[in-house]
Amino acid sequence: LNLFVRLYGGLFQNTVAQNHLADYSGEYKHTIKINGHKIGVFERFTLTNIKNIDLYVELAGGMIINNLNNNIVFSLEGIGKEYQKEDLNGVNYFLQPSLGMIYKLSSWLGINFNVGYEYNILNKMRLDHQETNIRSDWSGLRLNMGIITSFKIM
């Protein structure tokens, strides 16, 4: 059984929703954008090695720093334009169990395949330091593929 503890950070995720109506008399546009910056740790347990394939289970946990931008534009021809902008902030905590495999191309290079599910512990977002009823929820299925490298430091 091999155990590796790793730190990761700088992972970025975002999503946007928009409702937009316009004609000769005016316009209504409502855009909501939320992004999250994920930092945390993960532990990977190697279950078995079959030739140049490592099968593993992984448990990750950490926090997601969220920012939500809520923008509304309303205009009427000949009357004027109104803007409303709100910026909300909050923090989620997450836990993500996963299963995966690494196909080793060499002793230091491999291709990683991973499937897991992220569970979020939801906290309310804040607007001008006041708690709101809005919550960000990034929970869901995670499918990952990438290149993995290993280097011996000592």
pLDDT tens readout for residues 34-50: 999 999 998 889 999 99
**26 — pLDDT class (breaks 50, 70, 90):** very high
* Average pLDDT value over all residues in the chain: 90
Place of tokens 């995670």: 142
CA–CA separation, 77 and 103 (whole Å): 61
Contact status, residue 127 vs residue 88, Cβ threshold 8 Å: yes
Alpha-carbon distance of 41 to 6, in angstroms, equals 6
Distance CA 39, CA 18 (A): 28
- For the entire predicted model, the pTM comes to 0.79
End-to-end CA distance of the chain: 21
